[in-house]
Structure 1
């Protein structure tokens, strides 16, 4: 069995044939994900896509995407490995007004021209699985949030409590 995934497929035909796709996508073939990576690595994502019908008969893609990606920690700016382990559970439709899948709790994926580009589909799933703010579990920020002693903190808090309109108090009297 080959680890290569096709470039594009007709998902409705694969659903009728009850087919599945198994393969590996290297990071180098995923330009939008590669753009987010901290360093160019040999990361790969294991992909499983099962084309089937939901319990109510809707065209469905299930499966998973698994792999690791090195991103920049947003606290210390050092590289951090982020594990990607996401489940695919998407109903296919050709209409933007079809709300039945959403009512059943499925995500909706609109198919144009009865084909999907496998790499783009998988790349979307990876991007949705990535954390909004990648960071280490235990790390310190590059710069402390406040520099100074606790007394300085109290002084700045007292200054903030001052009325910002105090300067305008005497303005009306001068006219």
Structure 2
């Protein structure tokens, strides 16, 4: 079992010291992730190396690893998403700093010289998750209704609705407006 990470740190001091924090963050400490994760999600293994970029900017390099159980949006059954997120984030103290992007790094705004580790880790996990959790192959919870080649409406049992097709199409007049020249 990995060590628990501190709640907050001064990242600039850790950069000067060249420190590396390694530990685990339990799901209970990540409230936004806990809302969408299902039972069986494990603690996240985290390694954060406080260092400098090639251009001398303070940055965090590292990884977040673990298995997150989400609900498949097709069949509504649990699906395990193996998370292996690599981090390279430049630290900045003001929003208008464009230098991290010029180095090809994502910027992370530090206020009051404090970095809340749990918030940082949770944000990076949420960014790494798929937009829609689903199995590679599964059947949808409800059967999909295929479109008919004709314009006839379909009832729930899949049959063409003759009462609706008997109605006159109000746009039928428009089909003859544009004639080939």
Question: For the superposition of Structure 1 and Structure 2, which TM-score range results when normalised by the shorter chain?
Answer: 0.7 to 0.9
Structure-2 residue corresponding to 1:172? none
Residue 41 of structure 2 contacts residue 67 of structure 2 at CA under 8 Å; is this kept in 1? no
Distance, in Å, in 2 between the alignment partners of 1:17 and 1:126 is 26
Residue 72 of structure 1 contacts residue 134 of structure 1 at CA under 8 Å; is this kept in 2? yes
Mapping 1:72-83, distance limit 5 Å: 72-83=71-82
Unaligned 5+ runs, structure 1: 170-175
Equivalent position SS for 2:148: helix
Identify if the C-alpha distance between structure 1 residues 166 and 31 changes in structure 2 by more than 3 Å, giving closer, same or farther: same
Structure-2 residue corresponding to 1:95? 94
Residue 73 of structure 1 contacts residue 80 of structure 1 at CA under 8 Å; is this kept in 2? yes
- The structure that is helix-richer by fraction is 1
Structure-1 residue corresponding to 2:145? 146
Identify if the C-alpha distance between structure 1 residues 43 and 165 changes in structure 2 by more than 3 Å, giving closer, same or farther: same
Residue 26 of structure 1 contacts residue 42 of structure 1 at CA under 8 Å; is this kept in 2? no
Deviation of 1:167 after TM superposition, in Å, equals 7.3
Aligned length: 161
Structure-2 residue corresponding to 1:21? 21
Structure-1 residue corresponding to 2:38? 38
Residue 23 of structure 2 contacts residue 47 of structure 2 at CA under 8 Å; is this kept in 1? yes
Structure-1 residue corresponding to 2:55? 56
1:3 maps to 2:9: no
Measured on the aligned residues, the alpha-carbon RMSD in Å equals 2.3
Equivalent position SS for 1:153: coil
TM-score by length of 1: 0.85
Mapping 1:155-166, distance limit 5 Å: 157-159=150-152, 165-166=171-172
Unaligned 5+ runs, structure 2: 154-167, 176-181
TM-score by length of 2: 0.82
Distance, in Å, in 1 between the alignment partners of 2:173 and 2:38 is 50
